[in-house]
Amino acid sequence: MRFLVKLRPVEGRAITVRLDYRSRFISLMKTIFGEDFFQRNGARPYTFAVYFGKGARIRGSSIEGVELVNLRFSTGDSSLAVKFYNGVLKLKKVGYTHRIGEGNFRVEWIREERERRITGAFKTLSPVVVERIGFGDSRDVEERYTVPDEEGFELSFLENVMRRYEAILGKRLEVKHVSIVSLGIKKEFVKHYGGVIKCFVGRFRVETESEELLNFIYKYGAGLRTGQGFGFLEVEDEKA
């Protein structure tokens, strides 16, 4: 299930938010889920993406001109989806405000979004993080993370998906073949918790015989760190 939550600053003016903003939304998830958040160890069974509006602009280490926040949330767990929806409604009802950057934001509304038919073609709404199989130095972002134009990426992508699938659903994912075809991908370095993560954004097609794999990455997110605001995918309409 998918939801869109709109938040607006209570100050009634444009707000400046630092580029390393995801920790504030992880904190919001803790508030929404309450004790349930801390009862879940390991891989988070959801993904989310943040959009700061057309007027927002990156300048230096900040995002300026933020007049709204669109928070998208996706999960394949229906009970978790209900908890998220009810948790957001509760925050709206009590008038809860959440600090993001230089402002305090309040929930304006939440609505469910329609899930689209999965075709295998996707576009990223938040960057995808893939950890390289057998990396050595965890502090070396080039060694630890991999992107589609690097050797061994597809094997690492599949290993990451299978690892999360087993952690979340408690069973193994059987896949015979997977390949990633770029439809327009760009490498990015994202600031996160004071460090930097190498990841990628853009459009791509996943070619595989496994409909379960496609369903999983669409609903639960692709790659790793999905519970930290990475890996949110939307179905892409491929052009002929």
How do residues 162-177 score in pLDDT, each as one tens digit? 999 999 999 999 999 9
Let me know if 210 is exposed, middle or buried by CB neighbors in 10 A (0-12, 13-18, 19+): middle
Beta carbons of 9 and 101 less than 8 angstroms apart: no
Which helix H or strand E contains 216, and what residues bound it?
helix 211-220
Picking from 200, 230, 214, the residue whose alpha carbon sits closest to that of residue 48 is 230
- pLDDT value at residue 238: 66
User: For 12, which DSSP code?
Assistant: S
Residue 10, pLDDT > 60, answer yes
- pLDDT value at residue 41: 65
- pLDDT value at residue 61: 93
What is the tally of helices (H) and strands (E) in the chain? 6, 12
Summarised one tens digit per residue, pLDDT across range 94-144 is 999 999 999 999 999 999 999 999 999 999 999 999 999 999 888 899 999
Domains of the chain: 2-113 (3.30.70.1890), 121-235 (3.30.70.1900)
Amino acid at site 201: V
Residue 240, pLDDT > 60, answer no
Question: How many residues are given for the chain?
Answer: 240
Beta carbons of 64 and 14 less than 8 angstroms apart: yes
If DSSP codes are grouped into helix, strand and coil, which group holds residue 29? helix
> Which of 35-49, 83-97, 188-202, 221-235 comes out lowest in average pLDDT?
35-49
Full-model pTM: 0.94
Percent of the chain with pLDDT over 90: 92
> Which of 82-86, 133-137, 198-202, 217-221 comes out lowest in average pLDDT?
133-137
Summarised one tens digit per residue, pLDDT across range 144-154 is 999 999 999 99
Percent of the chain with pLDDT over 70: 97
Q: What is the mean pLDDT of residues 83-99?
A: 97
Picking from 232, 234, 236, 206, the residue whose alpha carbon sits closest to that of residue 221 is 232
Pairing mode of beta strands 195-208, 233-235: unpaired
Residue 239, pLDDT > 70, answer no
Diameter of the chain measured on Cα atoms: 53
Summarised one tens digit per residue, pLDDT across range 37-55 is 776 667 899 999 999 999 9
CA dihedral defined by 150, 155, 158, 164, rounded to 10 degrees? Answer: -90
Residue 156, pLDDT > 80, answer yes
Beta bridge partners of 191: 196
